[in-house]
Amino acid sequence: MQRGNLAYQVASFNTQVLTMNPLSTVGLLCAVYFLILRRLGFRKWFRLPNLSVSFPCDLIGDRQIADFSFAGATNLRYRLELRAMPNTRLIRAFQLNNSFTTNDVQVHRDFLKKASQAIRLIRTDNWVKLGTITQTSLDSCLKHFKDGLPYNHSDHEEVMRVVSFSVMLNVLFGVDPSAINLDEARKATDAINRLWVQSKDKDSIPSLYDQTVLNNALEILLPAEYPCEASTNPLNLIMPAYETLWRVVLLTFVSIAYQADDPKTIEELREAVRNVPQCLYQGGDPESKALAIAKEGLRLYPPTKRIYRARLCVSPNGEKGPVAADVEGWHRDSRVWGDAAGVFDPQRFHPRGHERDRENTVVAPTDDIQPTPAIPYYQRIGYFPFGVGRHMCPAAAGFGERIITLLVVELTRRLGDRQTGLKINFNNLKLQKASCTLLPSGRSDMENWVLELRDTRHPDA
Ligand code: HEM
């Protein structure tokens, strides 16, 4: 349609709608002007992507699931309902009463406020202190858990779970990690793991034994939080914080400290070991480059692989279950990230872009070729580890990437990297031989990974 025709149609349309009720007239006019401006090329005003390049349209669809707009859900209570329905398994397994499981607007608001306040570590000295706390926790765990395994070996997954758990108990409840009963922490994390697996199977009833073990362990670890009610149950905070953390930290650490063989990626880690935690909340290049490690970990191993919402109606194929935005799928999609989508490469997230792209960008910007190419735009929208829109995670504001970076760096400081003698036995021949390959990230995939402990403290520590 040509612009001249459009102007004529707008004029005759105006005459017709003036005879209608004033409220519907205003609404209708706004909608029509919006559509017309879009056609006339005012995309920029509305932040619309240029869809003329071959665009993965499902990506928009998945973002609309994550931000609830697929259901036109502008009302908070309705959004909570759409999220809570697929999460009833978390009520059955853990009796959670938080933003993920409630329909109650006030419960959601109170919980969100509490969670946001708990993770508001916005000063460098908070992070320096947390670095020391992580080292204390790591030392005690490594000493405590080498039992039963031949000379100085440790179950890598168990250490990661208990260290992440202890650090989060400090952040959320102020618990001193040197005073944590590690056997109880191990019991709690094991029980959480088993209950989580059970909750995924809709036909299974969560084990009463595991629930009792978990509650008893938490009462010993957090005596000040008990007795509690559904809304003050410490698990409400522990689950979204700890459960999102331990696997992404473990997989990021293994990817960069053990698997990486590109000298630039190895140097990224060394630089981070020199700068973290002192650079955190200082801004500038050292911090941005250190955080790029966490960003890349969250890309390849997003803790929330899929964001589920209740389905509005049965699909044409008869599907009744929830709909899901495939976070992990988009984070690994080669249409968005290029051929090396599966390679762990923190440089993608460097403040001034990837060196490779800077070298290849020989075209000077002109009026029609803007300096921002299409691919980085897709990457911006194809990356959503903390969700999309109004219900984005409060940890997206700074805590999430910083805590992952801090834990990965403190692990490297204590255990070293492959070049300084770190040895991880995957108990899987294919994985042992491969380098720079995607690691399996299912809940039970890391169970047999064993850490060989020698004193491999990092030279830059
Ligand atoms: C790296 C760590 C984390 C990741 C990747 C992550 C991921 C996410 C995602 C994907 C959502 C959106 C869920 C949805 O749309 O339904 C979310 C929401 C939320 N997360 Fe996190 N999370 C992390 C850490 C935390 C921590 C430490 C806390 C603090 C206890 C937390 C508390 C919350 C809360 C309260 C919401 C609900 C926000 C709302 O509904 O407005 N998360 N998180």
User: Helix/strand/coil (H, E, C) string of 106-127?
Assistant: HHHHHHHHHHHHHCCCCCHHHH
Q: Is 366 part of any domain?
A: no
> Can you say whether the dihedral through the CA atoms of 72, 75, 80, 81 is positive or negative?
negative
DSSP designation for 255 = I
pLDDT in tens, 167-225: 999 999 999 988 999 999 999 999 999 999 999 998 889 999 999 999 999 999 999 99
With a 6 Å cutoff on the Cβ, whether 249 touches ligand 1 is no
H/E run at residue 248: helix 235-253
Same domain? 235 vs 292: yes
Residues 61 and 42 in one domain: no
Q: How many domains does the chain have?
A: 2
* pLDDT tens digits, 285-338: 999 999 999 999 999 999 999 999 998 888 788 888 899 999 999 999 998 999
Residue 461 belongs to some domain of the structure: no
The predicted structure's pLDDT at residue 443 = 84
Name the residue of 393, 401, 407 to mutate for ligand 1: max ligand atoms within 8 A of Cβ: 393
Ligand 1 center–CA 113 separation, angstroms: 12
CATH of the domain at 101: 1.10.630.10
Q: Is the CB of 76 under 6 A from ligand 1?
A: no
365 falls within a domain? no
Tokens read off for 82: 């759409």
144 and 33 in one domain?
Answer: no
Q: At 362, is the pLDDT very low, low, confident or very high (cuts 50, 70, 90)? A: very low
In a domain, 51, yes or no: no
- DSSP-derived secondary structure for 175-213: --GGG--HHHHHHHHHHHHHHHHHHHSTTPPPPHHHHHH
Sign of CA dihedral 376, 382, 385, 387: positive
Q: Are residues 12 and 100 in the same domain?
A: no
Same domain, 436 and 310: yes
Going from the Cα of 394 to the center of ligand 1, the distance in angstroms, rounded, reads 6
457 domain-assigned: no
**Which residue, by CA, sits nearest to atom 8 of ligand 1?**
386
Q: Is ligand 1 within 6 A of the CB of residue 241?
A: yes
Neighbours of 252 (CB within 10 A): 27
What would the pLDDT profile of 396-444 be if each residue is shown by its tens digit?
A: 999 999 999 999 999 999 999 999 999 999 989 989 988 778 999 988 8
From the CA of 304, give the closest atom in ligand 1. Answer: 10
User: Does 96 lie in the same domain as 154?
Assistant: yes
Would residue 367 count as lying in a domain? no
Cα separation, 65 vs 61, whole angstroms: 6
Helices (H), 372-421: 374-381, 399-415
Alpha carbon of 130 to ligand 1 centroid (Å) = 21
**Quick check: is 128 in a domain?**
yes
Its domain, for residue 21, covers 3-46
Same domain? 202 vs 334: yes
Residues 136 and 9 in one domain: no
Ligand 1 atom 2 nearest Cα: 400
86 lines ligand 1 (CB under 6 A): no
Specify whether the CB–CB gap between 270 and 460 falls below 8 A.
yes
The reply to whether 73 and 116 lie within a common domain is yes
Provide the residue count of the chain. 461
Residue 350 lies in a domain: yes
For ligand 1, atom 12: residue with the closest CA: 387
Q: Please tell me whether residues 267 and 380 are part of one structural domain.
A: yes
Q: What is the mean pLDDT of residues 65-71?
A: 95
Q: Are residues 296 and 148 in the same domain?
A: yes
State yes or no: cis peptide before 263, omega within 30 of 0.
Answer: no
Q: Do both 26 and 82 map to the same domain?
A: no
**How many CB atoms are located within 10 Å of the residue 370 CB?**
9
Centre of ligand 1 to C-alpha 164, Å, is 16
**Prediction pTM value:** 0.85
CA angle 114, 96, 79 (to 5 degrees): 75
Interatomic CA distance for residues 92 and 130, integer angstroms = 34
Is residue 87 scored above 50 in pLDDT? yes
Decide whether any atom of ligand 1 lies within 6 Å of the 385 Cβ.
yes
